[in-house]
Amino acid sequence: MLKIRVPASSANMGAGFDCLGVALSVYNYIYVNQTGHGLVIEAEGEGKDKIAKDEKNLVYQSMKKVFEYAKKSVDGLYIKLENNIPLSRGLGSSSACIVGGMTAANALLGNPLTDREILNLALLEEKHPDNITPCLVGGFTASMVYENEVYYIKKDVPDKISFLLIIPDFTLKTKKSREILPQNILLNDAAFNISHSTIFALGMYSENFDIFKVALKDKIHQPYRSHFISDFDDILKKCEEFGALGAYLSGSGSTIAAILYDSDRGKVENGIRKYLDKTNKCWKVITVKADNLGATVEKIQ
């Protein structure tokens, strides 16, 4: 039996739309075994009753893509999913299924595919690389697509940095959250985002985290998507007031993520919890670390 651990991920990180992302220490687990015949899928945890348990299952579908690519077949599969990543909250749950399934299939076949091949296959399913890359390789990543291939640079995130996740009690589908975006943006807004995302990424790379206070601002997606989340601008301001370095809409939402020094987690968490209570929001607040490993495979029997 193989046990695959896949991390959640938080994409965009302010101005880095469809480019920047970070893997987080919230994990889905996939247990997989070759059985000789049939397909059995069991699921526990987040979305367990909504998830398909037949050939339509996203993890299984993703495994199949690897078998087809490698021109190999596997007789019979038992798949057990233990899901901790909330669905449709901007925390990379579908990337975790795709990357997790592909990693599982690759491991079953004896790892014929490289990370680059897995990323390029995953891109066909996910369309943008900012969740799949950190999910596969861990850490903070800047990714781009050139002629249908994913290119990325990774940086491990040190332990002194934490991520506060403010997870609303409602879902937001990526499709709906992308449809609201304009097809054309102003040159000034493009220049604003290029400068901010570059400074943010270099700040992360050189561990000059204080620059996040200004570099996390965005003009090309959050202003449009913020309408889906009540008090969005206020919550971002509150995160800063309570001591976070900055906050942003995680992926296409609905989660808001704040980046902070771990030493400030108590005051930021307490402040945000009290603020959410006052505004009658029963939203979940958790503080997590970056995951610097990405998808891992362990043989357990």
Q: Would you say the C-alpha torsion 224, 227, 233, 238 has a positive or negative sign?
A: negative
Q: Smallest distance from the beta carbon of 80 to ligand HSE, in angstroms?
A: 26
Query: How far is residue 66 CA from its own chain's centroid?
Result: 21
Comparing CB distances to ligand HSE, the nearer of 158 and 182 is 182
Q: Which residue has the tokens 């490289």?
A: 114
Q: Residue 21 CB, nearest distance to ligand HSE (Å)?
A: 8
Among 80, 176, 178, 289, binds ligand HSE (CB under 6 A): 178
Least Å from the CB of residue 167 to ligand HSE = 15
Closest approach, Cβ 144 to ligand HSE, in A, equals: 12
Question: How many chain residues interact with ligand HSE (CB under 6 A)?
Answer: 12
Between 28 and 174, CB nearer to ligand HSE: 174
Binder of ligand HSE out of 4, 10, 12, 239 (CB under 6 A): 12
Under a CB-based contact definition with an 8 Å cutoff, are residues 8 and 26 in contact? yes
DSSP 3-state percent helix, strand, coil across the chain (nearest 5): 40, 25, 35
196 is a site residue for ligand HSE (CB under 6 A): no
| Shortest distance in whole angstroms from residue 221 CB to ligand HSE | 6
- Assess 11 for contact with ligand HSE (CB under 6 A): yes
The phi and psi torsions of 256 (rounded to 5 degrees) equal -105, 130
Residue 176 as a binder of ligand HSE (CB under 6 A): the answer is no
Q: How far apart are CA 301 and CA 204, in angstroms?
A: 39
Stretch that binds ligand HSE, among 11-19, 65-73, 141-149, 256-264 (CB under 6 A): 11-19
Provide the token pair at 74: 């596997």
CA distances from 238 to 16, 59, 233, 270 (A): 22, 38, 9, 11
Cα 110 off chain centre by: 27
Give the integer Cα–Cα distance in Å for 103 and 74: 15
Least distance (Å) from ligand HSE to the CB of residue 17? 6
The yes or no reply on residue 166 touching ligand HSE (CB under 6 A) is no
100/60 Cα distance (integer angstroms) = 10
User: Where does this chain bind ligand HSE (CB under 6 A)?
Assistant: 11-12, 17-18, 128, 130-131, 174, 178, 221, 251-252
